[in-house]
Amino acid sequence: MGTYTNTDTTYVNSNGWVPTFFDGFDGAYLDRAAWPIVQYNVGSNGAFTYSPNNVFGYDGEINVANIADGNGWTSGAFQQGWNGQMYGRWSISAKFDAGQGVTAAILLWPESGDSRYEIDLVEPRTADKTTLNNTTIHGPNDAITIPFDYDATQWHTYTVDWKPGLIDIYLDGTKILETNERVPDEPMSLGFLGYVANGGDSWFGGQPNAQTPAVTALHIDWVRAWTLADQYAGNLPAALYGTSTADLHPTSNTYTGLWTAGFLADASGNREYALTGQRTLGGTTNYAATWNASAWNDQVTLVTAAPATWDAGNGHNLLFANFVDVELDFRAAGTTALNLVAEGAQHGNIVLGDGNNSVTWVEHSNAYAGGNNVMTIVTGAGNDSVHLTAAAFSQADEPFAWGSDWNKDYDGHASVARISTGAGNDTITIDAGQAIIDAGAGDDTVAWNNPMSRFSIDVAANGATRVVDRQGVLGTALLHGVEHLAFSDQAIAAPGHAGLAVPITVNPIGTTPSTGLPAAGTDTGASAAPPPSAGATAPVATPASVPSVTDWNAIGAAMNEYHAATGQWWGADYTALLTWDAAHNAAVAAGTAQAPTPAPVTDWNAMAAQAEANFAATGHWYL
């Protein structure tokens, strides 16, 4: 049996390494947030079938079992899969059951799934598991296999150090192999692979025989992982987790150097489904990451972080994944440049400081959720980059895509981004969803990775550049203060430059802001206008008169009445809302519509005046 203490009795010099992962396998089930891939297909030699049932916890260990029944052999396999990292140290406490024709391997496998590289820490090939316990390193064109004779049926600690241009392998703390050949140069992940030989596997000594036990297993007590200190992503800013603002709490899985897998329980016995760790995305970029370890929209749907001061040890690359609601205020970072990814968020608020920041929103929304599909992104005075994409267009979604509520084919058509980039020369790239953008001062560009012929371009009544996707997937983008439009085949000057009359501000958690945008795919009046050719002047609509004073009390009352009547929040221009409200009030007076339940009285005009005063005093919009 394994242990519940999970003590490492071996020692390999840890200078230059930072602990980034631990799993003691002390539960009955495998943590799918840490190990998202469990094999369930036919083995490569056709002699057995992988079954998730062959991976199970027992007495402080996880078992990868080879099992014979009347229908043949089954085996187990699992791995961290897409949750890989670029370079690192992995250490595993494990033992193998004896048996002819049955075994398992402990290996590193490319995150991409290709077979150019493979590092087998150990793969016993003989029946008694005391000889030909092989270490194999596969390169793009060849492999080297080194046998080591020892009793693999006893507990041993297997360790691999993978550095740029170098691989070291240790057995119980003693180095048994060092090589600078066949060294992987892409993210790798740890895996455990059962195997049952067929009659043609002469290299393995042949298939199981009458003496082979019906059940054998690879037993794994614990797994530890480290990253190189100079590639450590840094600390994750302190965060709270919950399903609503009322139950926000710190996670018991803290980002303090010893990161833990498994659904831990807090002092009250409540299970913790928010995990942290280091993830490598985009090939080589390491992120300080946190994610909802259960299914999307289940258990922990909200993450919020707003440090009052910025710790110098905080990471610059930050990943928040699988949370429905992402509420992040990192203005405390000041001029520190941050690269932030909101992976699979439905809605929320992201606010950054004055550094040259990068924000990626991988949209994951529900077409029936209306205003709940809105993300507000506010950046400061730096030269910022904002990327809008969706699950269907992002490989980074894969580590978190196993939850039943996740739709990896979602194209973002129901999502809306409200973006204010402030001063600086900013770039916003739209690969998914609708957008309303207030670019502020500076030389700003909005880009699409599509040809210009896909879009209709004109000037909206309020003076903004309006870009409408003719295919209806991306819907409408309203661009205020934007100087340039860039497409995959050409770039043009933006025809409209008017600023946004009502600045985009952060919304209280749980509110559903109005976007001023039509629904995706609806006729905005621009669809008939052809896009301008490069250098040509775009058609300009005659701006409508804009009232000098906005009656926010009337708008707020109309919004409440619309919500009471329909159960949704208005998501289009407020002038149309007031038109609806007048017609609705007439219907109520005529007795053809039910009067709404009176909402609490709010002095919206006073709130707007206070917000304007705060902006004048501080440069920030808040109440």
Domains of the chain (ranges; CATH) run 17-227 (2.60.120.200), 233-531 (no CATH), 553-618 (no CATH)
Q: What is the mean pLDDT of residues 325-331?
A: 95
Query: pLDDT of 350-401, one tens digit each?
Result: 999 999 999 999 998 877 677 789 999 999 999 999 999 998 887 666 655 5
pLDDT of residue 378: 95
pLDDT of residue 267: 52
**Arithmetic mean of pLDDT over the chain:** 83
Q: What is the mean pLDDT of residues 278-289?
A: 85
pLDDT band at 55 (very low <50, low <70, confident <90, very high): very high
pLDDT of residue 365: 81
Please state, as a whole number, how many other Cβ atoms lie within 10 Å of the Cβ of residue 168: 16
pLDDT of residue 248: 86
Q: What is the share, in percent, of the chain residues with pLDDT greater than 90?
A: 50
Q: Which range has the worst mean pLDDT, 338-342, 485-489, 545-549, 570-574?
A: 545-549
pLDDT of residue 550: 63
pLDDT of residue 533: 42
Please state, as a whole number, how many other Cβ atoms lie within 10 Å of the Cβ of residue 478: 25
Q: What is the mean pLDDT of residues 298-321?
A: 92
3-state secondary structure of 239: coil
The DSSP symbol for 340 reads E
d(CA 18, CA 227): 5
Q: What is the mean pLDDT of residues 61-86?
A: 90
Q: What is the mean pLDDT of residues 303-330?
A: 94
d(CA 532, CA 118): 52
Asked if 106 and 64 count as a contact pair (C-beta separation under 8 A), the reply is no
The amino acid at 538: A
Query: pLDDT of 224-280, one tens digit each?
Result: 999 999 999 999 998 998 888 888 888 755 433 334 445 445 555 555 677 788 888
d(CA 184, CA 138): 9
Query: pLDDT of 21-43, one tens digit each?
Result: 888 888 777 877 778 788 888 98
Question: Comparing 464 with 291, which gets the higher pLDDT?
Answer: 464
pLDDT of residue 310: 96
Question: Comparing 230 with 562, which gets the higher pLDDT?
Answer: 230
CA dist 385 to 267, 495, 504, Å? 42, 22, 17
Q: Does residue 421 come out as left (phi exceeding 0), alpha (psi in the -120 to 50 range) or beta?
A: alpha
pLDDT of residue 599: 65
3-state helix, strand, coil in the chain (%, to 5): 15, 35, 50
Q: What are phi and psi of 453, to 5 degrees?
A: -65, -15
Question: Comparing 332 with 399, which gets the higher pLDDT?
Answer: 332
Q: What is the mean pLDDT of residues 595-600?
A: 68
Query: pLDDT of 416-445, one tens digit each?
Result: 999 999 899 999 999 999 999 999 889 999
pLDDT band at 308 (very low <50, low <70, confident <90, very high): very high
Query: pLDDT of 498-551, one tens digit each?
Result: 888 888 888 777 666 665 665 544 434 343 344 444 343 333 333 333 333 466
> Residue 66's Cα: distance from chain center in Å?
34
pLDDT of residue 546: 30
CA dist 456 to 236, 446, 453, 538, Å? 42, 15, 8, 10
Query: pLDDT of 165-215, one tens digit each?
Result: 999 999 999 999 999 999 999 899 999 999 999 988 888 889 999 999 999
Written as one string, the DSSP assignment of 349-395 is EEEE-SS--EEEEEE---TT-GGGGEEEEE--SS--EEEEEEGGG-G
Asked if 303 and 323 count as a contact pair (C-beta separation under 8 A), the reply is yes
Q: What is the CA radius of gyration of the chain?
A: 29
Dihedral over alpha carbons 396, 334, 350, 81 (to 10 degrees): 20
Q: Which range has the worst mean pLDDT, 111-115, 223-227, 612-616?
A: 612-616
Please name which of 453, 444, 574, 447 lies closest in space to residue 502, comparing C-alpha atoms. 574
Q: Which two tokens stand for residue 546?
A: 């804009």
CA dist 378 to 360, 417, 444, 506, Å? 12, 10, 15, 7
Written as one string, the DSSP assignment of 296-318 is TTSS--EEEE--SS--TTB-SEE
pLDDT of residue 521: 42
Question: Comparing 159 with 115, which gets the higher pLDDT?
Answer: 159
Characterize the bridge pairing of strands 156-163 and 88-96: antiparallel
Q: Which range has the worst mean pLDDT, 86-100, 225-239, 336-350, 603-617?
A: 603-617
